[in-house]
Chains A and B, each alone.
Chain A
Amino acid sequence: MLGVYGVGKTSLVRSFVYSIFDDKYLSTVGVKIDKKLVEIEGQPIEFLLWDIAGEDDHFTVPTSYLRGASGYLMVIDGTRRDTFDRALDLQGRTEKALGPVPFIAVLNKVDLAKEWVLGDEDLAKLNKLNWTYLKTSAKLGAGVEKAFYKLGQKILHP
């Protein structure tokens, strides 16, 4: 789970799994790991989700946390434009560290329709970059399962 601080990564994970670790790991170690077993196309897939603390001006995602990842969700807050821009940058750095690893862009907080700032040009930009993206709401639980499912599919068929 990658993305800028406050985009809702932890909320997405929380609505997807039941966690054994406390959220405070995020602020101390900078990562919290959870597990989720899903079945994709009749095949059991075990996700080990590394919920990495959101980037901000003082924290950059350590590349050691990215190492060995099979795929990732790039989470963007649809109500904050800067998270969109920084996601593009973060994706670039991630791909540099990991190589071409499957990922899904998640446009979160779709429940806040009034504050939504991402327009058609932005989506066109993502299409142009050949990103797969979908809208989610961690608050409502909408699209969350689907995001993980899609990522699983992409990992199975790169």
Chain B
Amino acid sequence: MTKPPTNSESDKLPDEQEPQDVLEIEELRQLITGPERIEIDQIRERLENPERRIHDLSQILPEAIALRTSQDEKIARAIAPTVEKAIESSIKTNRKVLVDVLFPVMGPAIRKAVTSTIHGMIESFDKTLEYSLSPQGLKWRLEALRTKKPFAEIVLLHTLLYQVEQIFLIHRESSLVIQHVMSKDTKTQDPDLVASMLSAIRDFVQDSFKLDKDESLDTLRMGSDRTIWIEQGAHAFIAAVIRGTPPSDLRVTLREALDAIHLAHGEALEAFDGDPTLLEAARPDLEDCLQSRYRPKQKKTFPLFWVLFGTIIVLIGILSFFSIQGHRRWNHYLEQLKAEPGIQITSGEKRSGLYHVYGFRDPLASDPVDLLKKDKFKPEKFVFHLESYTSTRPQVVLKRIEKILESPETVHLELKDDVLNISGSASHSWIAKMKEALKTVSWISRYDDRNLSDQDERDFDILKGKIEQRFFLFEFRSAEMLAGQEPEFQAFIQDLKSFLNLAKSLGKAVSIDIIGHADSLGTENANLVISQERAEKILSIILKENLDPKNFRTTGVGSRELFREEKTNQDRELNRRVTVRVVNES
């Protein structure tokens, strides 16, 4: 380093000193700096000769690159474009070289990827088949039709539901757990034990079936929805405990995580001695693998959703039940109304909570409100728009006739084939009025009253009988009545009055013969006299009751019409009597 100034100093000397001195100094300089000068010339030649520099650089370049690569990534970054260009150029010029080089590497990788894809396809095909005929499958088929997606896709969409519950990163050599991550709410046994046992089982399978090194156990299936996927690395393997049906690309995720961990912590993995703290940094990569996919509608909403759904269904059920029930009752009611004589229904509708009924009603027909009550409807919910009309239905016609005739309870009316049958009994006057009234009635062709009896005529006959059965007894040889006959006589007077009134109302001209009798003891003349007196006696009492004398005649028949043959005095007593006879004058 000190040489150049010396050199430059000597360069200046010749200009300042004498020629003799210059020669000496030059000689001296040759002696002192001769060897260095040769070296300097050599160095200069190395620096200035490109061929030499190339040679020199080639000596140190590999080591320099290796050193720098271990320090940072600058070289990798710097040469990456060149490498890319080189590969590009190589492919352009001669593709075969690269293909030959890459084939041993890519071949197995491609084979594995294809195998995995085909496996995935078979799995999904299995699922498709499995679900194609189940009720679930039918539901999904409908969904496929609705969404216009292929059925297989719908099946996958519903079945590819999974959760990665736990990930074990396990040291291959010692079977110890390097790291263990798990999703929330996952329960687990001691990870160390599980990992060791898992390793043991892997070894067991590998040993038992004499598998090749890269053919290790990669899937364990437990029950219908739990699997363990194992991905094998150089120093460690990943075991993922998965619930559900994971998609096949999850394996790629696991693989990538394992590769990333190996890349970043390769040495730490190799030297793992059971202390997991040294590999904490690997956790994020593992946590990234804790993937999951849930059903679009999560189960969290499950109870509330179903409670609501159930309630709505029940409500709809109840409402439709009542609605149907209400509708049926309403229809039933309308039918009943239509069947009701004297009511014509043209329409019925339910409007703003009220039932409207349209039609016609005979005033004599049943009240539709009464029918409502019978059907347990609330009358205030009904509005009747019923015009009045005259019904020709037999029941109504009969009611109308009953109303016109004001028939008493003893009369029974029946309308059959337009013929009014009148039966029972009625007063003479009602019968007359009825006959008069029916002349004006047009809803019947004729009437039949053969089974109707005249109450007054019957009473007339009964009273006549009662009067004619009466007799009154008299004292011996006297026109005095025997004592104790007053009640009978009073009853006789009452019957007599009724009889005469009835006869008058029936327009019958009647006269009452009062006939006196005597026993056979006296002479015939005397007996005729006493019998006449006895008849007169009865008449005189009758006339005290303000009865018309024109209706009465008296006769004395003596002992000509004896009531009994006279053997004892009692027989004679019975023969001393007055009897009554009704005579129809018309």
Asked if A50 meets B176 with Cβ closer than 8 Å, knowing A33-B193, A35-B190, the reply is no
Q: B309 within 8 Å of A by Cβ?
A: no
| Contact flags B392-433 to A (C-beta < 8 A → 1, else 0) | 000000000000000000000000000000000000000000
Asked if A35 meets B207 with Cβ closer than 8 Å, knowing A50-B200, A68-B171, A68-B173, the reply is no
| Contact flags A45-73 to B (C-beta < 8 A → 1, else 0) | 01010100000000000101101111000
With a cutoff of 8 Å between Cβ atoms, the chain A residues found around residue B174 in the complex are 67-70
Which residues, 67 to 93 on A, are CB-close (under 8 Å) to B? 67-70
Task: Tell me the count of chain A residues lying within 8 A, CB to CB, of chain B.
Answer: 19
User: Closest residue to A66 on the B side, CB-wise?
Assistant: B203
Closest chain A CB from B214 CB (angstroms): 16
Q: A25 within 8 Å of B by Cβ?
A: yes
With a cutoff of 8 Å between Cβ atoms, the chain A residues found around residue B206 in the complex are 64
Chain B interface residue count: which class?
A: 10 to 19
With a cutoff of 8 Å between Cβ atoms, the chain B residues found around residue A113 in the complex are none
Q: CB distance A67 to B173 under 8 Å?
A: yes
Q: B316 within 8 Å of A by Cβ?
A: no
Q: B189 within 8 Å of A by Cβ?
A: yes
User: Closest residue to A68 on the B side, CB-wise?
Assistant: B174
Q: B462 within 8 Å of A by Cβ?
A: no
Q: CB distance B197 to A25 under 8 Å?
A: yes
Q: CB distance A33 to B201 under 8 Å?
A: no
Please measure, in the bound complex, the distance between the C-alpha atom of A30 and the C-alpha atom of B197, giving whole angstroms.
11
With a cutoff of 8 Å between Cβ atoms, the chain B residues found around residue A48 in the complex are 175-176, 192-193, 196
Interchain Cβ contacts within 8 Å, total number: 52
Q: A38 within 8 Å of B by Cβ?
A: no
Q: CB distance A21 to B197 under 8 Å?
A: yes
User: Closest residue to A52 on the B side, CB-wise?
Assistant: B200
Q: CB distance B207 to A62 under 8 Å?
A: yes
Q: CB distance A35 to B193 under 8 Å?
A: yes
Q: A20 within 8 Å of B by Cβ?
A: yes
Closest chain B CB from A10 CB (angstroms): 15
Q: CB distance B192 to A50 under 8 Å?
A: no
Please measure, in the bound complex, the distance between the C-alpha atom of A33 and the C-alpha atom of B199, giving whole angstroms.
10
With a cutoff of 8 Å between Cβ atoms, the chain B residues found around residue A25 in the complex are 197
Asked if A50 meets B196 with Cβ closer than 8 Å, knowing A31-B204, A64-B207, A68-B176, the reply is yes
Closest chain B CB from A99 CB (angstroms): 12
With a cutoff of 8 Å between Cβ atoms, the chain B residues found around residue A33 in the complex are 193, 196-197, 200
Name, among A33, A35, A50, A64, the residue most crowded by chain B CB atoms within 10 Å (CB to CB): A33
Closest chain A CB from B212 CB (angstroms): 14
Q: CB distance B200 to A31 under 8 Å?
A: yes
> Contact partner of A20 among B171, B189, B201, B204, CB < 8 A?
B189
Please measure, in the bound complex, the distance between the C-alpha atom of A21 and the C-alpha atom of B193, giving whole angstroms.
9
Closest chain A CB from B579 CB (angstroms): 132
Please measure, in the bound complex, the distance between the C-alpha atom of A34 and the C-alpha atom of B194, giving whole angstroms.
10
Q: CB distance A29 to B201 under 8 Å?
A: yes
Please measure, in the bound complex, the distance between the C-alpha atom of A116 and the C-alpha atom of B176, giving whole angstroms.
38
Q: CB distance B176 to A20 under 8 Å?
A: no
With a cutoff of 8 Å between Cβ atoms, the chain A residues found around residue B204 in the complex are 29-31, 62
Asked if A62 meets B197 with Cβ closer than 8 Å, knowing A68-B174, A68-B176, the reply is no
With a cutoff of 8 Å between Cβ atoms, the chain B residues found around residue A65 in the complex are 200, 203
With a cutoff of 8 Å between Cβ atoms, the chain B residues found around residue A34 in the complex are 193
Q: Give 4 new A-B contacts, CB below 8 A, not counting A67-B174, A68-B171.
A: A25-B197, A35-B193, A48-B196, A69-B174
Please list the 8 inter-chain residue pairs (A to B) with the smallest Cβ-Cβ separation, ordered nearest first. A68-B174, A64-B203, A33-B196, A68-B173, A31-B200, A62-B207, A29-B204, A33-B197
Q: List 19 A-B contacts (CB under 8 A).
A: A20-B189, A25-B197, A30-B200, A30-B204, A31-B197, A31-B200, A33-B193, A33-B196, A33-B200, A35-B193, A48-B196, A62-B207, A64-B207, A65-B200, A67-B173, A67-B175, A68-B171, A68-B173, A68-B175
Residues of B within 8 A of A (CB): 171, 173-176, 189-190, 192-193, 196-197, 200-201, 203-204, 206-207, 274
